[in-house]
Amino acid sequence: VFALIVFACLVGDGYMSRPEDPELFCVFNRNEDACRYGIGIGVLAFLACIFFFMVDVYFPQISNTADRKYLVLADLGFSGLWTFLWFIGFCFLTNQWSWTRAEDVYIGADSARAAITFSFFSIFSW
């Protein structure tokens, strides 16, 4: 759920334009990489959650012990990696938000703060 919130906040209000310039820019210090990183890990985390949920549903039907072992290790390894990536994302978004000028942000401030907050919560949930 947290990954979906981060993704939705950045896609919905993560890009904006100035009234005199119709070109879109990222609200995080005009750094496109910050928005792309948040959207990327949010989408991949959501898809991975769906995959691992399906694995958990079919897990009792898997009779091969080696396959079960590899699935559990894959889940553990992916969760560890994604915890690290969410930590990097939180630090990156927070750093870029701290350098953002107030006049560059009109509407997307709440969504940017929500993306930062839920990327922090994702560290612990993963």
Residue 105 near residue 16, CB atoms below 8 Å: yes
φ, ψ at 22 (rounded to 5°): -75, -5
Distance between the two ends of the chain, CA-based, in angstroms? 11
**Structure-block tokens of residue 123:** 């560290």
**Structure-block tokens of residue 85:** 């990536």
Q: Mean pLDDT, the chain, as a whole number?
A: 91
Residue 86 near residue 119, CB atoms below 8 Å: yes
pTM over 0.85: yes
Where do the domains of the chain lie? Answer: 1-125
Model pLDDT, residue 57: 94
71-103 pLDDT, tens digit each: 999 999 999 999 999 999 999 999 999 999 887
